[in-house]
Structure formats: structure tokens, C-alpha cells
Amino acid sequence: MPSLQNPPQKMMFQLSLRRRGISDQAVLRAMEDVPRDMFVEPADRADAYRDIALGIACGQTISQPFVVAYMTEQLGLQKSHRVLEIGTGSGYQAAVLSRLCSHVVTIERYRTLADRARSRLAQLGYDNVEVMLGDGFDVPAGAGAFDRIIVTAAMEQIPDALAQRLGPEGVLIAPVGPLHSVQTLVRLVRTETGFERKQLVDVRFVPALPGLAREL
């Protein structure tokens, strides 16, 4: 199905991101290139370019565009980077990441979402994204280390096992705080002596839960 985006909506979409402080030109290009209307539910396509979160299957959400752009910008991506995403959802964040790095591994605990995202990303040509059905709290050992890690669901704290998956000078972004309230985006940078931690902005995400979902 072709994208329904129209120029006036896309123009306001980009202007809104710039006004809210997104300045990385590569991130802005990626946000412009990825058709968000193809990642929302059909009934919500008219609202795809509004700066709001929208519901998707399994009680999950696709984050508002500003949050996607902001988290992506804070990662400081390079074309050579290998990125891990926890919480595939619709696949939109992974698609944006894929325009800015060499490879994305994204893990989703809901089979329905994983299957839909895998199919959608393939149909749209995002062939450097690998969608895995799995537990974001228990990343398979064979997945290796990553230059960047992004968590798109709320965690009460960042598991040390996840932080240890960062390579040298790696960066992790995650919403940390109460699962059913307001969280704070936290940026971890791996250094020679440990991790530097910085709090960024307040956000609200659905909870990150361990294990595979019963609702498949």
C-alpha cells in the first residue's frame, strides 16, 4: 500500500522537530525519509504526522515523532555503528535508526508485533534491520556487543547485563523510572573506568516487561 503522506503535513512535521530543538541534519533527513504513516494503524494514518503517540496492537504505542528524533539524536550515530533496540513495536524507530547506521538488531516480546514489523520493514526495503522475538532483559549471548543501545519501553532501572553489552565508548538511551508514571530519559556512556550517566528529559513510555508475552 502506498504511503499517504502529503507535502503540507510533512513540512509541518519537519518544522515541528526543528522548533523543538532537533538540529542533527542526518536525523532530520531520516525522519523525513521514513514514512510514519506506514507504521501506524490504518485508522490513524491521517494523524501519522502529528507530534503525538499512537496506539498499535497488543496495547503498545508508537512514540511521538519528537521523542523518536530526540532519542535518535542523543545516540550520536555513525554509519559504522551496530545498534540494539529493545522494544520493536511497529518497527518505526528501527527504520529511522537503519538510515543512520550499518545494522539494527531489534527485540520484541510480542510475536504479533515482531511478525508485523518484520514484514513491514522488508516490504519497505529496510534490509539492514533484524527483528528478533525475545526478551529484552535477556539478550541472547550470541548477539554480541553493540555500539549503541536504545530502549523504547520504561525500565525501573537499567539492567547491568544490558549495559555490559555496550562496546568501548558505547552509548545507551533508556526511559528510567516508575513503570506507570513519568520516566526520565537516561544516557549512559561507557568509558575506560565505567559508565557516565546523564539525565535528559521526562517522558512516558509503556512498561518494559521480562519474558515473552502470553498474548502472541
What's the order of all strands across the beta sheet hosting 183-191?
Answer: 129-133, 103-108, 82-86, 146-151, 166-176, 183-191, 194-203
| Burial class of residue 187, CB neighbours in 10 A (0-12, 13-18, 19+) | middle
**Contact of 15 with 57, CB cutoff 8 Å:** no
Q: Which amino acid is at 117?
A: A
User: Is the entire prediction scored with pTM above 0.85?
Assistant: yes
CATH code for the structural domain at 7-203: 3.40.50.150
**Contact of 169 with 191, CB cutoff 8 Å:** yes
Other C-beta atoms lying within 10 Å of the C-beta of residue 216? 13
The catalytic residue positions are 63
CA 206, CA 190: separation in Å to the nearest integer? Answer: 26
* pLDDT tens-digit series, residues 161-211: 999 999 999 999 999 999 888 999 999 999 999 999 999 999 999 888 877
CA 211, CA 127: separation in Å to the nearest integer? Answer: 27
pLDDT band at 11 (very low <50, low <70, confident <90, very high): confident
* pLDDT tens-digit series, residues 104-138: 999 999 999 999 999 999 999 999 999 999 998 88
63 DSSP assignment: P
pLDDT band at 141 (very low <50, low <70, confident <90, very high): confident
Segments making up each domain of the chain, as ranges: 7-203
